[in-house]
Amino acid sequence: MTRTLRVFDIDQLVQIVIDLKKADPNLEDLGFSWSRESLMNELKVGCGLGLWKGNDLVAFILYRKAGEALEITLLCTRAGSQKRGAMTELFGKFCEINLDKDIWLDVHEKNHKALNLYKKIGFKQNGRRPRYYKDGSAAILMIYQH
Tell me the CATH number at 93.
3.40.630.30
Look at residue 145 in the predicted model and tell me its pLDDT. 92
| Residue 107 pLDDT grade (very low, low, confident, very high; cuts 50, 70, 90) | very high
The helix/strand/coil state of 49 is strand
Banded pLDDT at 27 (limits 50, 70, 90): confident
Q: How far is CA 56 from CA 21, 77, 78, 94, 118, in A?
A: 19, 12, 10, 19, 24
Is 116 a residue whose pLDDT tops 80?
yes
Residue 91, pLDDT above cutoff 90: yes
Give me the pLDDT at residue 37, please: 96
* pLDDT at 8 (0 to 100): 95
CA distance readout (Å), 137 to 9, 31, 34, 114, 127: 32, 10, 18, 15, 14
0.75 exceeded by the pTM? yes
pLDDT band at 14 (very low <50, low <70, confident <90, very high): very high
Query: How many domains would you assign to the chain?
Result: 1
73 pLDDT tier (thresholds 50, 70, 90) = very high
- pLDDT at 127 > cutoff 90: yes
Contacts of 89 (CB under 8 A, 6+ apart): 51, 59
Alpha-carbon distance of 141 to 1, in angstroms, equals 30
Angle ∠(91,78,36) on CA atoms, nearest 5: 100
Residue 123 lies in domain = 2-144
Q: Give strand pairing partners of 52.
A: 57
Burial tier of 93 (Cβ tally within 10 Å: 0-12, 13-18, 19+): middle
Q: State phi, psi for 103 to the nearest 5 degrees.
A: -125, 130
